[in-house]
Amino acid sequence: AQLVHIARRMNEVSSSLSLSNDLGYVVDQGADILHSFLTAFLTNKERDKLVYDANLGGMITLDGLKNTEADFGNGRYNDHHFHYGYILYACAIMGDINATFVSEYGHFVDPLLFDVAHSSYSHSNSEPLDGAFFPLARYKSWFDGHSFASGLFPFGNGKSQESSSESVNCYYGAYLWSIIRSKSDGFGNKEENKKLVDFARLLLATEIRGAKTYWHMHPPDTSDAKLENDPAIYSSRLAQNYMVGNLGMMDVTSLHGLGMNPYTCT
């Protein structure tokens, strides 16, 4: 989705360049591949299908339902906003390229939006809800401003959020999909659609602010004699807390890369 988006934007500004034909080919081929993968996933053509959990009100994988450790703990609501954020982003790009994608598959995408970014109101024409329950912004901690990722899994030192960048990407994807969805025919009225977009914007804005406030580590103040010889991004005092458990499980490149992904065209 990201590569298609980049190629499409480059193609729009390079119409007079020799690259134009090549970029147009990349956009067309990439869009076809993206459409194929998304539609297979959304319509449960894959072996590991999506199912609705009537007990807790969410979309989980069939493997996750059977095994709590499968799909990164998907059946126990671990990392949904990380994973579904990529799907929402990809669907928004696809919908922007091809409006028929929204009319044909929008009602398959909406439950994923509701799983991670459901608001306190429902659309009058919201087909995917059909009486189904989804909790309000499942992963968001409104007190802290950011989200937590670990779902129903317990942590001794509190909830976890190992990738604040992917959490921001979730609500960015929700925001983009809300914009695309609100333009489709028969999906709510103008006021409802505005609320849908504004709520996604609120989730995105508070997630960015929360990540900057609580998750982003800044270089230590070298004027502090105790930290002068400590080049680590995390101070030794913070690193002793097990909530920074990634330090012991990943190499340095993976650790920093996890905090940088995904790279989006904003």
Mapped onto helix, strand or coil, the DSSP state of residue 254 is helix
Query: Of 71, 110, 166, 207, which one is the catalytic site residue?
Result: 166
Q: Which of 149, 154, 259, 249 is nearest to 215 (CA)?
A: 259
Strand partners, 52: 59
Query: Rounded to whole angstroms, what are the CA distances from 153 to 57, 104, 173, 189, 249?
Result: 17, 36, 25, 38, 18
CA distance 64 to 229: 46
**Residue 68, number of CB atoms within 10 A of its CB:** 15
Query: Of 79, 110, 115, 207, which one is the catalytic site residue?
Result: 79
Active site residue 79: yes
CA distance 27 to 206: 33
Active site residue 192: no
CA distance 138 to 123: 18
CA distance 181 to 177: 6
- Specify the DSSP class assigned to residue 233: S
Query: Of 110, 115, 162, 207, which one is the catalytic site residue?
Result: 162
Active site residue 191: no
Q: Which residues contact 22 (CB under 8 A, 6 or more apart)?
A: none
Mapped onto helix, strand or coil, the DSSP state of residue 26 is helix
The type of residue at 195 is K
Looking at the annotation, which residues are catalytic?
Answer: 79, 162, 166
